[in-house]
Structure 1
Amino acid sequence: MANVESAGFWSYTHRDDQLDGGRIVRLSERIASAFEIITGEPLEIFLDEKSIEWGDTLRMRLDSALTGTTFLIPVVTPKFLKSQECRREVIKFAGHAASLGLEELLLPIHYANVPQLAQGTDGEPADEVVELIARRKWVDWRELRLEDEDSPAYRQAVHKLALRLAEIIETAPPAMPVEVAPSGQNDEDTPGFIEVMAQAEEALPAWLDTVQQFAEFISTITEATTWATAEMEASDSRGGGFAGRMRVTEELSSRLAEPVRNVDALGSKYWAELAAIDPGIIGFIRHAAENDLSVEDTQVTQDFFKEIKQLVRVSSTTISQLQEFSDSVGVAARTSSQLRPTFRTIQAAVQKVIDGQAVVDEWSRMIDEVDLEGGDKLTLT
Structure 2
Amino acid sequence: MSNNEQPAGFWSYARRDDELDRGQITRLSERIADAFEIITGEPLEIFLDKRSIEWGDAWRMRLDSALTGTTFLIPIVTPKFLQSQDCRREVIQFAGHAASLGLEELLLPIHYVDVPQLAHDVEEKPTDEVVELISKRQWVDWRALRLEDEDSPPYRQAVHKLAVKLAEILETAPPARPIEVTSPGQDDEDSPGFVEIMAEMEAALPAWQDTVLQFAAFMETIGIETRQATEEMAASDARGGGFAGRMRVTEELSSRLADPVRKIESLGSKYWTELSTIDPGVIGIIRTASNTTLSAEEKESAQEFLEVVEQLAGVTGQTTGQLRSFSNEVGTAAQGSRQLRPQFRAIQAAVQKVIDGQAIIDEWSRMIGEIKAQMQE
Normalised TM-score (structure 1): 0.94
CA contact (8 A) 1:196 1:280 kept: no
- Supply the AA of the counterpart residue of 2:336: T
CA contact (8 A) 1:71 1:105 kept: yes
CA contact (8 A) 1:116 1:130 kept: yes
Instruction: Give the deviation of 1:59 after TM superposition.
Output: 2.6
Structure 2 CA distance for partners of 1:318 and 1:234, relative to 1, 3 Å: same
Partner of 1:171: 172
Most deviating of 152-161 and 230-239 = 230-239
- Supply the AA of the counterpart residue of 1:83: S
Most deviating of 43-52 and 115-124 = 115-124
CA contact (8 A) 2:232 2:249 kept: yes
Q: Which runs of 5+ in 1 are unaligned?
A: 373-377
Q: Compute the RMSD of aligned alpha carbons.
A: 2.1
Give the 3-state SS of the residue equivalent to 1:335 in structure 2. coil
* Aligned mates of 2:35, 2:279 — CA distance in 1: 34
Most deviating of 77-86 and 61-70 = 61-70
- Supply the AA of the counterpart residue of 1:360: I
* Aligned mates of 2:106, 2:199 — CA distance in 1: 29
- Supply the AA of the counterpart residue of 1:187: D
Partner of 1:11: 12
Instruction: Give the deviation of 1:276 after TM superposition.
Output: 0.6
Structure 2 CA distance for partners of 1:166 and 1:257, relative to 1, 3 Å: same
Partner of 1:299: 300
* Aligned mates of 1:266, 1:188 — CA distance in 2: 35
- Deviations 1:171-222, CA, capped at 9 Å, x for gaps: 0000000112225643124432123344422211110101111221221111
- Supply the AA of the counterpart residue of 1:146: L
Instruction: Give the deviation of 1:80 after TM superposition.
Output: 0.3
Instruction: Give the deviation of 1:124 after TM superposition.
Output: 9.6
Give the 3-state SS of the residue equivalent to 1:136 in structure 2. coil
* Aligned mates of 1:380, 1:33 — CA distance in 2: 44
Structure 2 CA distance for partners of 1:65 and 1:297, relative to 1, 3 Å: farther
Question: Is structure 2 residue 145 aligned with structure 1 residue 139?
Answer: no
- Deviations 1:337-356, CA, capped at 9 Å, x for gaps: 11111011100110011001
* Aligned mates of 1:7, 1:281 — CA distance in 2: 26
- Supply the AA of the counterpart residue of 1:269: K
Instruction: Give the deviation of 1:263 after TM superposition.
Output: 0.8
Normalised TM-score (structure 2): 0.95
- Supply the AA of the counterpart residue of 1:352: K
Instruction: Give the deviation of 1:67 after TM superposition.
Output: 2.9
Question: Is structure 2 residue 110 aligned with structure 1 residue 106?
Answer: no
- Deviations 1:2-37, CA, capped at 9 Å, x for gaps: 994211000001100000110000000000110111
Q: Which runs of 5+ in 2 are unaligned?
A: none
Structure 2 CA distance for partners of 1:208 and 1:52, relative to 1, 3 Å: closer
Instruction: Give the deviation of 1:134 after TM superposition.
Output: 0.4
- Deviations 1:97-155, CA, capped at 9 Å, x for gaps: 00000001100000000011116778898111000000001100000000000000000
- Supply the AA of the counterpart residue of 1:312: A
CA contact (8 A) 1:2 1:41 kept: no
Question: Is structure 2 residue 312 aligned with structure 1 residue 311?
Answer: yes
Partner of 2:255: 254
- Deviations 1:29-60, CA, capped at 9 Å, x for gaps: 00011011111111100002222331221232
Give the 3-state SS of the residue equivalent to 1:369 in structure 2. helix
Question: Is structure 2 residue 38 aligned with structure 1 residue 41?
Answer: no
Partner of 1:211: 212
Question: Is structure 2 residue 357 aligned with structure 1 residue 356?
Answer: yes
Report percent identity of matched pairs.
69
Most deviating of 61-70 and 282-291 = 61-70
Structure 2 CA distance for partners of 1:121 and 1:156, relative to 1, 3 Å: closer
Structure 2 CA distance for partners of 1:50 and 1:196, relative to 1, 3 Å: same
* Aligned mates of 2:20, 2:95 — CA distance in 1: 28
* Aligned mates of 1:338, 1:216 — CA distance in 2: 24
CA contact (8 A) 2:6 2:42 kept: no
Q: How many residues align?
A: 376
- Deviations 1:349-369, CA, capped at 9 Å, x for gaps: 100110011101100111111
